[in-house]
Structure 1
Amino acid sequence: MTLTPSAGPRPLTVGICTRDRRASLLRCLRSLRHAEAFIDRVLVADDGSDPPVEAWVHEALGADAPPGLTTLRVETSIGPTAGRNRISAAARTPYILYLDDDAAVLSEAAVRDALAVLDGDPAVAAIAFAQADAEGRLYPPGAQPSAATVPSLVNTFIGFAHMVRREALVAAGGYREMLGIMGEERELTFRLLDAGLHVVYLPGAPMAHLSDPAGRDARKFLFQTVRNDALSGLLNEPLPVALGMLGPRLLRYFPMRRGWGGEDPGGFRRIVRGVADALPRVRAERRPVRWSTLRTWYALKVSPPYHGPGAAP
């Protein structure tokens, strides 16, 4: 199925979470010219930037401003997952294209192909895009949602650029805000799978990811990756699996730190304390998936080809 621009309602909201990355945000917004035919509005979640985004972005873009550019501002940072939930609450279209502020759309074709899958198959809740450089050259397979070279069913996506069915996202409860960032994609996929929905990876639909170092901290990355992996299991997995995997997941900290090669005094204690501090909220929000969902999630590690609507995975 090929989706073409029409004079009817535009099906897509673009949602961008940003904080103090002015040059990257402008590049991202200018890249949306490739998808203008599909865009209803562009919602920028300003996560406490200094100065506020709205104060300068319209002046900087001028005639290059994308359709319906709107800023959703918070004074104190709430993180990307909460920002995405604010965007989904404000969106009025069936689909949302989420972009990191250091991502960029490379072609209309990538957006059109993703919309065609979602429009044609109600069992697909999200589209994973391939990571590429500014020229569209794909990064290595290890930097992709999957090593697959054809459209495939996958068990996670990469948050830098993904498209979601808004109704499915809201029904699943949105992004898990306690995670903040790192691992929120895998955690959401668990809940979508439990609702009978899938994520499709389109390796032929690249989006640029031009990593901006602003706001990146290796210690914070390590903390959030290990803590969130543990929390995701406790939130979603059947109890024997969640408890059995808790120790191994926490101990991943040590090989990850060695691979990084940096110093992180007291880092493991902070992670353990972070998990312990989150337990009351975990108990309140825990909704274990079915055993069959867990089996499906593991089976999708091999990324079976996606054959279209109604095809069994």
Structure 2
Amino acid sequence: MNSTSPALSVCVASRNRPDDVIRCLNSLTLLQHVEFEILLIDDASEAPIVDRVLPAIDPILVDRLQVFRHENNKGIPATRNELAERAKAPYLLYLDDDAQLLSAESVDNALTVLKISPEVGAVALSQSDETGKLLPGQPLAIEYRCYAPTFVGYGSLLRRDLFLELGGYREMFAAYYEEPEFCKRMLDRGFYVVYLPDACVIHYKSPIGRNNLVALRNNCRNKCFAAIYNEPSAMMVFSVPLRILLYVYKHWAYCRQHKIKSEFGASWIVREIQQNLPALWRDRRALKWSTYYKWHKIKQAPAYQPAD
């Protein structure tokens, strides 16, 4: 790479998905008009992926690529925090390893939003198939550009300085709900998420490393952790028990539907809270009530209208 000051840092974390990450990286050839760097962390894959990746990616990407490896699995939040710390550009493009760019225009549009709207801290991209058809599970089920409560990890652009200033993701989460929790802290500081449904990222949703029951339990645990970290006391006292009760029902319904033995019930959630409560309480910084009101209003998807 010719410049020591790239305009964009493309950040990818991967674990046990070498074929997916090769496809992801090769899609970055679409960004030749942008001065960018690529940072890839192999988060303790069973077999190191670097020897698979380097011969398989387009030669024009090799000089832009830096590969790092964890010998022990640290999880997505910690790995993405490390990527942000290593990055040199003012903007971070986070991609899941099982995602790939559909077009350069998606990235260009997101960068434009960050450059012309200083109140926007992150841009959420949409997820699509290879034809550009939108998939279920978007940040919002909306067809116009709008403010959104959160982005999703498969594809997003963030301001690096703001991300680092806010402390990045909560590493205790390990996986799931780290983006919404971060976005609430960002909103508390006066920064917003904009969702661009016309800026697509192809997302293949690899089954490797995915488990619906683990996702269900970790989502509940991390929402409870987030409540302890961030919610005003009166809200937290009610929300944590309600989240556990809702989890009990969802967990029971999932196990019954799939005819599997129940595990990781409410007792697992309670133990996780008890074991981690000292650390959670030490880092607790209650957000403003007005932040939660704004969060609720933003769920109604007000249109994004950049200032002239």
TM-score (norm 2): 0.93
**How high is the sequence identity, in percent, across the aligned residues?**
34
Kindly indicate whether the alpha-carbon contact (under 8 Å) linking 1:20 and 1:49 is maintained by their aligned counterparts in 2.
yes
**SS in structure 1 at match of 2:73:** coil
Alpha-carbon distance in 2 for matches of 1:198, 1:204: 18
Q: For residue 253 of structure 1, what is the amino acid of its counterpart?
A: Y
Distance 1:169 1:292 in 2: 21
What SS class does the counterpart of residue 37 from structure 1 fall into? coil
Letter in 1 for 2:281: R
Q: CA deviation at 1:299?
A: 0.9
Once the two structures are TM-superposed, the CA of residue 219 in structure 1 deviates from its matched residue by: 2.6
* Separation of aligned partners in 2, 1:218 and 1:145: 19
Deviates more, 1:31-40 or 1:168-177: 31-40
Q: Which residue identity lines up with residue 141 of structure 2 in the other structure?
A: A
In structure 1, C-alpha distance between the alignment counterparts of 2:142 and 2:213, rounded to whole Å: 31
Q: What one-letter code is carried by the residue in structure 1 that aligns with 2:144?
A: V
1:241 to 235, 239, 242: 235
Q: Which amino acid counterpart does residue 298 of structure 1 have in structure 2?
A: H
Q: Counterparts in 2 of 1:1-313, with a 5 A limit?
A: 10-63=6-59, 65=61, 68-140=64-136, 143-257=137-251, 258-259=253-254, 261-262=257-258, 263=260, 264-309=262-307
Counterpart amino acid of residue 270 in structure 1: W
The CA RMSD over aligned residues, in Å, is 1.7
> By how many angstroms is 1:9 displaced?
5.1
Normalised by the length of structure 1, the TM-score is: 0.92
> What do residues 17-52 of structure 1 show as CA deviations (whole Å, max 9, x unaligned)?
100001111111111112232242110111001221
Amino acid aligned to 1:247: P
The residue aligned with 1:4 is: none
2:286 & 2:22 partners in 1: Cα distance?
Answer: 41
- Three-state SS of the structure 2 residue aligned to 1:221 is helix
Q: Is the 8 A contact 2:5 2:88 kept in 1?
A: no
| 1:233 positional shift | 1.3
Query: How far is 1:240 from its partner?
Result: 0.6
Q: Does the CA contact (< 8 Å) of 2:16 and 2:208 recur in 1?
A: yes
The one-character-per-residue Cα deviations of 1:134-170 (angstroms, maximum 9, x if unpaired) are 2211013xx1111221111111111111110001101
Higher mean C-alpha deviation, range 193-202 or range 61-70: 61-70
- Give ranges in structure 1 of 5+ residues lacking alignment: 1-6
Cα deviation for residue 77 of structure 1 reads 0.2
The alpha-carbon deviation at position 64 of structure 1 amounts to 5.7
4+ residue segments displaced more than 3 Å: 7-10, 64-67
Q: In 2, distance between residues paired with 1:69 and 1:201?
A: 28
Letter matched to residue 271 of structure 2: R
Runs of 5+ in structure 2 lacking a partner? none
Determine if contact 2:18/2:52 at 8 Å carries over to the other structure.
Answer: no
